[in-house]
Amino acid sequence: MRRPILVVLAVLLAQAPAFAETLFDKRGKRASIHSYQSYLHGVRAKLYDRDEDEREEAFELIEESLENPKLDGDWEFPLELLGDLMLGTALPADADIDQDLQEEGLDLLIKNALNDSFPISRREFALGQLRRVVHAKRLVNPDFREDTFDALSTLSGDTLLVLSHGAVNALGAVAMRRGSRWKETADDAAEILADRMDEDNLELRRIAILETLELLRTAKQPRERLNNLWEELAEAVEDIDSASLQQDLRPRLLRLAKANESTPFASQAEELRDAVKELKKRTKPAKGAFPEILAQLADEQDIPDLEALLARIEKDGRSDPTLRTLGLAAVVARASRQETAPYILRLLLDSLLRQGRVKGSPMMYYRTASQLLNLTYAHRDSGKANLPLAQLARLLASTDKPGLVVPVLDEIKSMAMGKAQPVWIGRRMVALLFLQAGDSPSARIRKHALQLLQVIGRAGRNWAIRREVWTRMALLARFARDDGIKAGAQRWLKG
């Protein structure tokens, strides 16, 4: 009896690695993100295999990979495969999708998006796959639509700004859907947009207003939900007491009203125009001794009062470099605090950018960029790091001088490859390099940004960041206006 038992044990031990296999086990043998992408596409093909056992084996591999990520960001690879499954990406013409696997896949995506014990990067990427679902032209199972909407509804009120922002954006897409199958869900999405335009969180209110503007801009025919959104938008505009937000929204609101003067929404457009006329708030610089102004800035929570303090700091700083230095230090100190509300952080960053862009001063340009990168790191765990990154994109777009931009791009590349950098931030840093490679007026800047992308894609320690480079390179290879950039991206994609 002893020999058969040993044989059975040996067989089981030999099979053990197969049961533990993940999407990451073979990666060490693959030298590039290019070959790893090919491997992942092979796994995706197995999800559509005619053999049920093959399909289930591929799905179990994805499940096991979600349970056992080796590196930060590794969850993105199984999550994207689940998103592909939901949409039938690369589905062979003669194949059908296993709806049972789709249902399990959607359940996994929703759980990953809603689980607040997961890192922001993981939850945001799962949310991105849910956004793909609501943008899909066709969903096989109507329940997928309802389940996805319920998850987005919950996420739209999440305390992490990056998640609530992404969910509100997705709900805008849902509210725009047409057809009887989508009517009820679209109505519900529009109602949530209306609710978010009445949020105490002013940054989330701003996001909802912008999303509603985009939805109404593309609307053609009146529907009850659209008429309600016109009304809710006008009311939300009337409630804005931030002069900065009024100034930001005014031209957008007027463009929407003018575009609808001769449409079925003409009466609503007139009401909106009347609401915009009431936006008369102007910010006057606060009065008092400059040291007192700086002291008040540290704790001021009232938005109009905060705007007045910032206006005073900027006014005095324009005429006195010493005061500008003190003012910038106070603004950065307040912006660095974890408890800073998102919209207050936006106001502080706007002021930082205005004060930091000093004509003829490369030092101030680089210093401002460094401060924005430091603030990105400071808010990496709160979901607000996207705000300083957005300002950094504005700063980079404000000049085409390589002497200013190239050192900042080098710093972005180093931070994108840093071990302590959360993946959701690193991916956005890759996006900043991508924008410079594709859109900078300077050929030297475009070339340098492309070279930095190539370095990250070849040598980055994080495979999720390397795959982000691969995705951006694919876009440059197709759409770059600079033939040299397009050719360089195409060569890189070939490996």
142: left (phi over 0), alpha (psi -120 to 50) or beta: alpha
Question: Looking at residue 58, what is its pLDDT?
Answer: 97
Question: Looking at residue 16, what is its pLDDT?
Answer: 35
Q: Which residues of the chain have pLDDT under 70?
A: 1-20, 29-31, 140
Question: Looking at residue 14, what is its pLDDT?
Answer: 38
How far CA 188 is from CA of 133, 225, 237, 268, 314, in Å, comes to 17, 9, 22, 21, 44
**DSSP tally for the chain: helices H, then strands E:** 24, 0
- Alpha-carbon torsion, ordered 182, 185, 191, 192, to 10 deg: -120
CA 174 to chain centre: 18
- What one-letter code names the amino acid at 270? E
Cα–Cα distance for residue pair 278/256, rounded to 1 Å? 17
CA atoms lying within 13 Å on the CB side of residue 285: 13
Question: Looking at residue 1, what is its pLDDT?
Answer: 39
Q: In sequence order, which residues have a C-beta less than 8 Å from that of residue 34 and are 6 or more positions away?
A: 470, 493, 494, 495
Cα–Cα distance for residue pair 384/69, rounded to 1 Å? 25
Angle at 85 between CA 112 and CA 491, to 5 degrees: 100
Question: Looking at residue 31, what is its pLDDT?
Answer: 60
Residue 157: both structure tokens together: 């009120």
Q: Which residue has the tokens 């930001």?
A: 248
- For the chain, give the number of residues: 495
Angle at 331 between CA 384 and CA 333, to 5 degrees: 75
Cα–Cα distance for residue pair 10/233, rounded to 1 Å? 69
Give the SS3 label for residue 175.
Answer: helix
DSSP notation for 168-218:
HHHHHHHHT--STTTHHHHHHHHHHHHHHTT-SSHHHHHHHHHHHHHHHHH
Among 352, 425, 427, 420, CA closest to 384: 425
Please write the tens of the pLDDT for every residue from 56-99: 999 999 999 999 999 899 999 999 999 999 999 999 998 889 99
Q: What are phi and psi of 189, to 5 degrees?
A: -65, -40
Residue 55: both structure tokens together: 């399909």
pTM for this predicted structure? 0.91
Question: Looking at residue 29, what is its pLDDT?
Answer: 52
